[in-house]
Structure 1
Amino acid sequence: MSSSLPDFSEPPDRGGPLRRMIRLGHPPLKAPYRPLLRDGKLSKLLEKTKPQRFQSMDEAELIESLKTLQEVQETGTDTTSSRTPNSITVDMNRDAWALDVTANPSLRNKFEQLRLAVNEYNIAATHEKREIVIKNGCELQDVLAQANAMQEDRSSSKDAKSLNSNIQAGLQQFCKSTLYYAAVMDTMAQHHPEWVSLAWGTMKMLLMIPIEYQKVKEGIVTNLGRIGSKLELVSLLLSFYPVERMTNAAAAIYASIADFLAYCLRYLRSNCLVKTFKTMVAPFDTRLGPILKTIDENYAILRQEAEIQFMIYQFQRHCSMQRDLSEIKEDHGRIIGILEDIIRRDDMDRERRSKTIDGQCQSGNANWKF
């Protein structure tokens, strides 16, 4: 009786399912190697965990997403694998970035100027005005909402406009129309005596004062609301990625905001004559324009750095996932190697028993013949 089992020294059939399964691991007594990934589900998982390109979001969507993440991680931290070097730790209870921002000397100087402006207002303001400020004190968003509501009510009720408002609107329209034809008047003034050019230049400057005065008032209100909408996102981004470049950008933003508020406070508490003089000496584009430009530039730097930190975080999570999957595959290969060794030993035992049975059968047949 011949055994149908193969000899233990021969490798199993390469086309059999056992060889296809063992191919995922590594045979025993050989140098370990990283097996190729042949599992479709794991391949899809690795494909999904590749670093994704940061999709730009508007401020409202980004604020909502970060707030949702804050609520989820309010009492804990979210980190990558502990075996990942230089992993980014997101600690929602940590406000150390605020200490780094306040340590900036430029920021301290600007806030000192703002404090002086507030003290000047408190000294010059009457007791009634201070009581109104204390009683009606509210957040910047509430002030912006109230200002927008008042502006809508004022624009909707055209019949209720006072004579003073109509005169002011007509004066502004006259100034704009006159300056629109200023190029023609400049050409005509070149063919007349010098005093005509001087008079026309003086008239142009006087026409620009009401327009610039209105531009300063509208610019203060508009940019206060625009700046206020940025502060919430700045705080959220720094809570997630308090790196040095972002804290420096935030310090520059807060310093510029303090400078902007100090100027607005001194400007708005002045009387009409002083406001007109300040408008002539320092127009909006030359005085407040550079401050707003600094805020926008540093805000763009902060957003860009946050995108970079986000991509680094995604890449580290991807590397951690790949490392974990490699360890799983190595463990899987070791298990398969152990199973392969057990199967080989079982084959050897069965072959040994088969040979023993064959030997007994042959000896029994020989005794029967005799």
Structure 2
Amino acid sequence: MKCLIQHNPEYVSLAWGAMKFLFVAFVNHENACSTLAKGLCQIGSILPRAELSLILYPTKRMKRAVAELYANIIKFLVRSKRWYEEGKLKHIWHSLSRPSELRYADLLENVKERSELIETLSASGAQAEQREIHRKIDHEGSQLTVMHEEVRELKAIIMSCFSHPR
């Protein structure tokens, strides 16, 4: 056998090629499973924050961003469902012909981008609220200053009435 391998490298390369084919198929299949699991975990952590942002800041832009997020999530789930319904032979074939990076990366990137947009819109909404609260506090502070001045004037009038005997 040793002699056969040393003198006929073309047979060894055929065997190695077949083994490499199987290794790549198994690794890509594992990557597909991992990508789906990571994608579902990512979606699971995004959804509660998106819902809270929509409740707190229900602007047109926020509603549109959340709708686009949901659309991309649904597209990802539909592709995932199709993959889960495939048989073993199709899994092997698609692990070679359509790796998970090509099959799911676009949707997961879109989900991430929409999530970041929602976070940005939430932060902007929070800043706008904070600015409005600051404006109201300034207004109340100026009214309080006026009231203090009026109290001083009334106190001066009252003191002048009691300090001068009739």
Matched, 1:252 2:68: yes
- Describe the superposition over 1:34-74 as per-residue Cα deviations: whole angstroms up to 9, x where unpaired: xxxxxxxxxxxxxxxxxxxxxxxxxxxxxxxxxxxxxxxxx
Q: What whole-Å deviation, never above 9, does each CA across 1:310-358 have from its counterpart, x for those lacking one?
A: 12212211221221121122122122223323444555x44xx6xxxxx
Q: In structure 2, what is the Cα distance between the partners aligned to 1:329 and 1:319? A: 15
TM-score normalized by structure 1? 0.38
Counterpart CA distance in 2 for 1:202 and 1:337 is 98
Q: Does 1:290 align with 2:102?
A: no
Q: Deviations over 1:100-150 (max 9, x none)?
A: xxxxxxxxxxxxxxxxxxxxxxxxxxxxxxxxxxxxxxxxxxxxxxxxxxx
What is the distance in 1 between the residues matched to 2:16 and 2:113?
36
Deviation at 1:202, TM superposition (A): 5.6
Q: Name the residue aligned to 1:266.
A: 82
Q: Please provide the CA RMSD for this pair.
A: 2.6
- In structure 2, what is the equivalent of residue 176 of structure 1? none
Q: Which of structures 1 and 2 has the bigger CA Rg?
A: 1
SS at match of 2:86: coil
How has the CA–CA distance of structure 1 residues 243 and 271 changed in structure 2, closer, same or farther, with 3 Å as cutoff?
same
- DSSP-derived class of the 2:127 partner: helix
Query: Which string of whole-angstrom CA distances, capped at 9 and with x for unpartnered residues, describes residues 145-202 of structure 1?
Result: xxxxxxxxxxxxxxxxxxxxxxxxxxxxxxxxxxxxxxxxxxxxxxxxxx89x96996
What is the deviation of 1:205?
A: 4.7
Partner of 2:3: none
Listed as ranges, the gaps of 5+ residues in structure 2 are 1-9
CA distance in 2, matches of 1:292, 1:220: 10
Q: 1:328 to 1:249 in 2, by over 3 A?
A: same
Q: Letter of the 2:97 partner, please give it.
A: V
| 1:306 equivalent in structure 2 | 122
Mapped partners of 1:201, 1:295: distance in 2:
40
Who is 1:236 aligned against? 52
Task: Write the letter of the residue equivalent to 1:283.
Answer: P
Offset from partner CA, 1:276-307 (integer Å, 9 cap, x none): 22222221111101111111121122112212
Match of 1:214 in 2: 30
* Post-superposition offset of 1:256: 1.3
Among the aligned pairs, what percent are the same residue?
A: 21
Matched AA of 2:149? G
Listed as ranges, the gaps of 5+ residues in structure 1 are 1-194, 354-370
Residue matched to 1:322: 138
Q: How far 1:254 sits from its partner (Å)?
A: 0.9
Cα distance in 1 for partners of 2:114, 2:58 equals 15
What CA distance in whole angstroms lies between the structure 1 residues aligned with 2:17 and 2:102?
Answer: 20
For residues 256 and 271 of structure 1, what CA distance do their matches in structure 2 show? 25
Q: Which has the higher contact order (CA 8 A, sep 6+)?
A: 1
Amino acid corresponding to residue 103 of structure 2 in structure 1: R
